Structure 1
Amino acid sequence: MSRTSESALQQEILSWIRQNQYVYLATVDKRQPHVRPMVMFVFDDRFFFVTFTGDAKVNQIANNKWVEVCVPLHESGNTGYIRLTGVAHIVKNPALKAEAAEQCFFFDEYFRGYDDPDYTLIEFMPETAEYLRPGERYSQTCNLKRYSG
């Protein structure tokens, strides 16, 4: 296992996240966790999800801001993961919603525009990361709070 300084570990984690947009998002409804695949994208060093306004995750995040994201990793036949724990919130700022919509590769397939009432933007602000490099046996943790906007 290769131990890495916190700063180098943060950069390595962020590099993986930028190239792996498919993640699993966990929210909680009352006491029951719910996990689903999502696309998470990085824009302006901030993390976002695009979803439909009526999806259960929107209400779950409104009621409990604590979420976890798991980024599955694959490299040279080995697997690993990044688990990000932090808070999420529903973005109301129309300018930010418009800018983020431009960064989402599938936005136009599902929404009529950034003012579409079915479009909800969720910002995720990770606080900690647990990182298991592909092929390693032990994970490392680090703080990511400084990267949250």
Structure 2
Amino acid sequence: MSTSIEEQAIIKALSDNPFCAFGTVENNKPKVRYMALYNEGLNIHLATDRKTHKVEELEQNPNCYLLLGYEKGGNNEVVEVQATATVSDDAELKQRVWKDDFKQWFSGPDDPDYVVLDIKPQTIEYTDQDGNKQTWQG
């Protein structure tokens, strides 16, 4: 499967920005927190604890929003992702996303509380370092 120049730029920006602001809906109001971002192309994953509020929020309303590019360590490209999220405990996905840094929260990739938020982008707005905007539709 070939990717367009636009998709390649978005994928590179996702890979170059290890953190994102992740927004969900709680009681019909937006709620945002910073999270570590992992991507495989345009497939975006966020690791979390099954017992967190964000899991409950996504089960009630799967719509979410990611903003990245302003965080420390970012590259000044801005990526805004309108998406839906599902909570996954797929063993293979958990193994791919697992980082040793997670050991401070989880016993290992098989920990039952460790889950991955599987983010399915619907619309991605990408702004390059020169301020040029592009929109990708899923």
Fold match (TM-score > 0.5): yes
Match of 1:58 in 2: 55
Out of 97, 122, 128, the residue aligned to residue 127 of structure 1 is 122
Larger Cα-atom Rg: 1
* Unmatched tracts of structure 1, length 5 or more: 1-5
In 1, Cα distance between equivalents of 2:41 and 2:10: 16
- 1:11-26 equivalent positions in 2, closer than 5 A: 11-26=8-23
In 2, Cα distance between equivalents of 1:86 and 1:9: 18
Match of 1:3 in 2: none
In 1, Cα distance between equivalents of 2:18 and 2:100: 11
CA change 1:12–1:73 in 2 (3 A) is farther
In 1, Cα distance between equivalents of 2:70 and 2:25: 24
Q: Is the 8 A contact 1:73 1:134 kept in 2?
A: no
Match of 1:111 in 2: 106
Q: Is the 8 A contact 2:78 2:126 kept in 1?
A: yes
Alignment RMSD, CA only? 2.3
Superimposed CA distance per residue, residues 99-122 of structure 1 (whole angstroms, 9 cap, x where no aligned partner) = 332xx3522232101222331211
Q: Alignment identity in percent?
A: 24
The offset of 1:43, in angstroms, is: 3.7
The offset of 1:72, in angstroms, is: 1.7
Superimposed CA distance per residue, residues 27-52 of structure 1 (whole angstroms, 9 cap, x where no aligned partner) = 00131100111011014762111112
TM-score by length of 2: 0.83
